[in-house]
Amino acid sequence: MTFSGLIQHMIDGACRGDGAQVAACFTPDGAYHDVFYGSFRGRAEIARMIGASRTTVAVILHRARNRLQKELSPIEGVAS
């Protein structure tokens, strides 16, 4: 899998609240550091964090996607 494919896979999992999918993108002892949620080490902790925050993560990503589409639409003809 390419790096961009790995990142897209992780984002897709986060948007669905699929902690196992997100955690699988990390090494077994990998760490995730977030300024809002804190630090998590290991796949089990990362999966729990995604599961516990899935509503918040999905809302944030949805709003960011919509805002970006609106900003780019007049410039690049992106459909909203």
pLDDT of residue 42: 96
Q: Domain range holding 19?
A: 3-76
Span 20-39, pLDDT tens digits: 999 999 999 999 887 777 89
Which has the higher per-residue pLDDT, 54 or 43?
Answer: 43
Write down the pTM of the prediction. Answer: 0.64
Closest C-alpha among 27, 22, 23 to residue 44: 23
Given a contact cutoff of 8 angstroms between Cβ atoms, the answer to whether 50 and 57 are in contact is: yes
- CATH no. for residue 34? 3.10.450.50
Measured CA to CA, the distance from residue 26 to residue 48 in angstroms comes to 14
For residue 4, pLDDT over 70 is answered with yes
Which has the higher per-residue pLDDT, 77 or 53?
Answer: 53
Domain count, the chain: 1
